Amino acid sequence: MRTLIATWLTAGGSPVSAWGYRSDNMQYLLIFDLALALYSVGMLLCGLAMFRPRGLAAKAAWAVLPLAILVHATSFVVQWYSQAIFPLHSLLGAFSLYALLAFLGAVRFAHATGSASAAFSLGAVPYAALLLAFLSRFHGVQLKTELPPSFLSAHLFAVMASFAAFSLAAGSGLLLLKMEKALKQKSFGPFWEAMPPLEALDRETYRYIIVGFCFLSVGIGIGIGGAPLAWGGGWFHDRRLLTSLVIWALYGLYLVARARYGWRGRKLAVFSVGAFALTLVTYVLINMGKYVL
């Protein structure tokens, strides 16, 4: 403990503690750590709520998770106010923003369906992203791009919002598939009894696909707006733009199929899981791989 508190190292000219705190980001990271602790408690309570959906753990989860989201959002405001930048230019900021938006969507989903346990299921991936954000602070990995800073912040915010929405749609779709299978096999347990009905899962999956599609459209538009400034005349050959357009077209085709042919239920669930898997590969291996130094 003495080492963690009193031992200071030097990196890049800024004093860094054993917990990754620097003089220029200490307030931001302290609030982030508080939010991570609250998320951990909230996820534990949501897990316990699966056994008693209307018990004390479920009621406590409704209070702890929104508080965690509020504290987490405050960390961004503090960094923006103190450093005059929105902390999105590092893996820590990117993972943290995704987790914030995904948890916000998961809690909204849980309130809409009346199931605190749904927040536990949909919150697993953003919670893992928070842990990755916590670990990335020790390496200080920055995102590299030729986009102007104003374009970059807006672009990354829209892209992370779309990624969060698509991940929630995939999680909801996966729950739909599993619940459908459990209904056919007539095998129920505390987990499935605490989940929302199939109709609610179908409705929320569709809504998050619409939200993700809208944010992706905005993100692509901002990227196209800033691309000529960054890459000149050859910007339309950038593989990040091309792959993003493929993902955009894929989700757009589903929305057309839903409206025209009534694709819902199992078809919706399979699409949401498969499309997000492709989106994950695109974002991580192609887009983020080119952003990271």
What range does the domain containing 164 cover?
A: 143-293
Same domain, 63 and 104: yes
Is residue 85 a part of any domain in this protein? yes
pLDDT at 236 over 80: no
Is residue 11 a part of any domain in this protein? no
Domain end, chosen from 109, 131, 153, is at 131
Note the pLDDT of residue 211.
96
- Using pLDDT thresholds of 50, 70 and 90, give the confidence band for residue 225: confident
Amino acid of residue 67 = L
The separation between CA 126 and the C-alpha centre of its own chain, rounded to angstroms, equals 5
Q: Tokens in use for 212?
A: 């993700």
- Listing DSSP states for 205-235 in one string gives HHHHHHHHHHHHHHHHHHHHHHHHHHHGGGG
- Using pLDDT thresholds of 50, 70 and 90, give the confidence band for residue 11: very low
The helix, strand and coil proportions of the chain, stated in percent and rounded to the nearest 5, come to 80, 5, 15
Least confident of 194-208, 228-242, 266-280: 228-242
Is residue 199 a part of any domain in this protein? yes
Same domain, 122 and 178: no
Q: Tokens in use for 191?
A: 């987990």
Tens of pLDDT along 185-208?
776 666 666 677 888 888 999 999
Note the pLDDT of residue 119.
77
Same domain, 82 and 194: no
Same domain, 180 and 274: yes
Same domain, 74 and 153: no
Same domain, 271 and 196: yes
Residue scoring higher pLDDT (23 or 121): 121
Same domain, 173 and 290: yes
Residue scoring higher pLDDT (92 or 273): 273
Is residue 5 a part of any domain in this protein? no
| Mean of pLDDT values over 95-115 | 87
Is residue 3 a part of any domain in this protein? no
- The Cβ of residue 199 has, within 10 Å, a number of other Cβ atoms equal to 12
Mean pLDDT of the chain: 78
Tens of pLDDT along 131-170?
888 887 766 555 656 666 667 778 888 988 999 999 999 9
Q: Tokens in use for 77?
A: 């405001």
Same domain, 61 and 155: no
pLDDT at 14 over 50: no
Show the DSSP H helices in 10-148 as ranges: 26-49, 56-83, 91-113, 116-122, 124-136
Same domain, 261 and 151: yes
Of the CA atoms within 13 Å of residue 287, those in its CB half-sphere come to 25
Percentage above 70 pLDDT, the chain: 73
The angle that helices 26-49 and 124-136 make with each other, rounded to 10 degrees, is: 150
| Mean of pLDDT values over 269-292 | 76
Count of structural domains within the chain: 2
